[in-house]
Chains A and B, each alone.
Chain A
Amino acid sequence: MQCIRKIGKKSAELAHVGHWQADKQKGVYTVVSEEFARIHGYTVDEFMARYKSLEQWRETVHPKDRPNLFEKYEGLENANTGFRIFHRDGSVRHVREIYSPILDEAGNLVASEGTLQDVTELRQVEIELSLSENQLRLITDNVPALIALVDTKKNYIYTNERYNKFFKCAGEDIIGRSVREIIGAEAFEHALPYMEKVLQGQTVEFEIEIPRAIEKSGYLSVVYVPHLDSAGIDGFLVLLLDITQRKRMEEQLQHAEKMIALGNLSAGIGHELNQPLGAVVLKSQMLAKLTDRGDLEKIRTVSESIVEQILRAKTIVDALRTFSRADTNVERSLHDVNKIVREVAVLCGDELKLNQVELELALSEEEIVTTLSSVQMGQVLSNLISNAKDAVEHQAVKRIRISTRLDNEYIIVEVSDTGLGIPESLIANIFDPFFTTKGVGKGTGLGLSLSYNMVKDNGGNIAVASEEGKGAKFVITLPVKGVTSVEKKYPSS
């Protein structure tokens, strides 16, 4: 018995729980425990000497908490009340008291007893916790992103304010509701494969159109991060960024770049055209002089060279027309890329044979069909072949190889040659308009720039891999039907 009492006393001390009894009629404490006295900063004897009446003790209660507490002391009900007391050293302690009135047979309040627990430290922890939770709230609610935590059943565990606002659920309780219900069936179906990936532990990123119910047009960048607890993945974190503005700006930038390219183009075109024009003016005027002299042989060569110069001017104008055509809507339909490669190979065949260049085709066995402009694709390929032909001109082995293959959702077309390759210092510029290393009259510097634009127009990408001395390899990546862009997987060089 003694032993149990000791354990009870000990655990009461550990939990900072004190005990008291009072005689209501006499208005004095009859029993106070050591812990009860200690909470006030006294030993039991000191406490009993200091607080001779219950009335005196009431002075230790924080004035603001007095009315509420004292009202309960008058009542005949058990009460559980939190309030503040002044410690002997003057400090304020937070306490919690369970109060029980003791009634006589007639139901009169004769005595009372209670337990008192010092919860100051506990409260401090609570305050700190709520502070850090508030801080976290503050951050997540104000960070310019939509944040949500979703469980494995794809129901919300947490969402920040911006998330609720964006999905028009401001002020509603979104917790526990399903993602499908909030973002709509269409967006949910689109995101589902990514959700499955993240629940397998993989962080995923993708872009998605904003559901039309939310906004007329726009894009979200989506990141899913797996959320782990000790048992494994219990959900995932959703981070959404509205990238509509960025997308619009990118479009504007692209347009501006096109304008700059056109500006460079017209200056370049002017310079290029003035060469043959200048020659034509002088040569035509010379014809008159030669006629006076009767130099028929010279007249013949001069007039032939005039035609040559005019044809040269025409190629420049043609290139310009193609360039501006790349800007407008080009008809796109389903085509077998292998078929286009074969057609171009036929068209370039004679020219290559004349130059003793071997063309090797290594085409995929399966059909590789996608939506594109066959005209543009043909132009790109003939451009690359023409460049490759010039590159191998002075080589012992003159070979161009075109290969096609299917790589998951992408069609890869590679055009490689046995030329000298492209020096590293030039690689960054080779897709710029009017950038050429060919001699005057041999290249306009537009071919690769046009090719780049045309491939981009068809939702694809073109990159170059080259090691000086080892030939160049141009890699065109096209999305297969149904894939919108290859930008993410194959960033441009």
Chain B
Amino acid sequence: MSKKNILLVDDDDGFRESVRDILLLEDYEVIEVSDGKYALPIVEKQAVDLVLTDILMPETEGVELNLKINKMKPGLKVIGMTGGGRMLEQGSVVEMCRDFSFETMLCKPFTMEELLATVEQALN
């Protein structure tokens, strides 16, 4: 079985790096970009199995990116990662997934186990 390709989108270098390193350790292929606007051309041209994206980003935010991916590649699953704060009150994660058709939402800070379990489940 060939390695799965995961597209990782986050403008926070430190955080993106930590997620990337764990996925690499688990033998996933990782393509990383720092904004939603860089993610779209990759989804269009490359074979991507799963997208992990931050929500608040300087230009193309996670929600907008997800809606565009849903149109472009309807079967491609998108997992959101959020730091909460003003954007997301506790308890609205489920709503946000439903309203913007995210596969699921990871709330920062999350553990390695949460990350890997979520990724595996989405890929199967």
Contacts and interface: CB of A to CB of B under 8 A. Distances in A.
Contacts of B84: 270-271, 274
Interface in A255-281: 264, 267-268, 270-272, 274-281
Given A275-B108, A278-B18, A440-B11, A289 B85 contact: no
A285 B111 contact: yes
A262 to B, nearest CB: 13
Given A270-B83, A286-B25, A302-B21, A275 B112 contact: no
B17 A279 contact: yes
Contacts of B14: 275-276, 279, 305, 308-309, 312, 441
B117 interface: no
Contacts, number: 87
Contact of A277 (B13, B108, B112): B108
A246 to B, nearest CB: 32
B interface, size bucket: 20 to 34
Given A274-B109, A439-B58, A441-B13, A282 B19 contact: yes
A282 B112 contact: yes
A335 B109 CA distance: 46
B106 to A, nearest CB: 9
Contacts of B100: none
A264 B110 CA distance: 23
Give the dominant DSSP class at A's interface.
helix
B1 interface: no
A340 to B, nearest CB: 35
B110 A281 contact: yes
Contacts of A285: 22, 111-112
A309 B12 CA distance: 11
B118 to A, nearest CB: 13
A53 B86 CA distance: 103
A289 B26 CA distance: 10
B21 A271 contact: no
Contact of B85 (A271, A302, A440, A441): A271
Interface in B1-45: 11-15, 17-19, 21-22, 25
A8 to B, nearest CB: 96
B88 to A, nearest CB: 9
A240 to B, nearest CB: 45
Max count, chain A CB within 10 A of own CB: residue among B14, B110, B111, B115:
B14
Interface in A424-440: 439-440
A270 B110 contact: no
B102 to A, nearest CB: 17
B19 A267 contact: no
B80 to A, nearest CB: 13
A279 B22 CA distance: 11
B38 to A, nearest CB: 15
Contacts of B109: 274, 277-282
Contact of A286 (B13, B21, B86, B108): B21
Contacts of B18: 278-279, 282-283, 286, 305
A275 B17 CA distance: 12
Contacts of A312: 14
B103 to A, nearest CB: 19
Interface in A148-205: none
A79 B84 CA distance: 97
Contacts of A439: 11, 58
Contacts of B52: none
A286 B22 CA distance: 7
Given A267-B85, A271-B85, A278 B21 contact: no
A221 B29 CA distance: 71
Interface string B91-118: 0000000000000000111111001000
Contacts of B12: 275, 279, 440-441
Contact of B15 (A264, A278, A302): A278
B56 interface: yes
Contacts of A286: 18, 21-22, 25, 112
B15 A275 contact: yes
A157 B11 CA distance: 73
Max count, chain A CB within 10 A of own CB: residue among B18, B22, B86:
B18
Contacts of A308: 14
Contacts of B87: 271
Contact of B86 (A267, A289, A441): A267
A105 B70 CA distance: 129
Nearest to A277: B109
Interface string B35-68: 0000000000000000000001010000000000
19 contacts: A270-B84, A271-B84, A276-B15, A279-B17, A281-B111, A282-B19, A282-B109, A282-B112, A283-B18, A283-B21, A285-B112, A286-B18, A286-B25, A286-B112, A290-B25, A305-B18, A312-B14, A439-B58, A441-B13
Given A276-B15, A282-B19, 19 more contacts: A267-B85, A270-B85, A271-B84, A274-B84, A275-B14, A275-B108, A276-B14, A278-B108, A278-B109, A279-B18, A279-B109, A280-B109, A281-B111, A282-B111, A282-B115, A286-B21, A305-B17, A309-B14, A312-B14
Interface of A: 264, 267-268, 270-272, 274-283, 285-286, 289-290, 302, 305, 308-309, 312, 439-441
For the complex of A and B, list the 3 residue pairs with the smallest distance between their C-beta atoms, beginning with the closest.
A271-B85, A278-B108, A274-B83
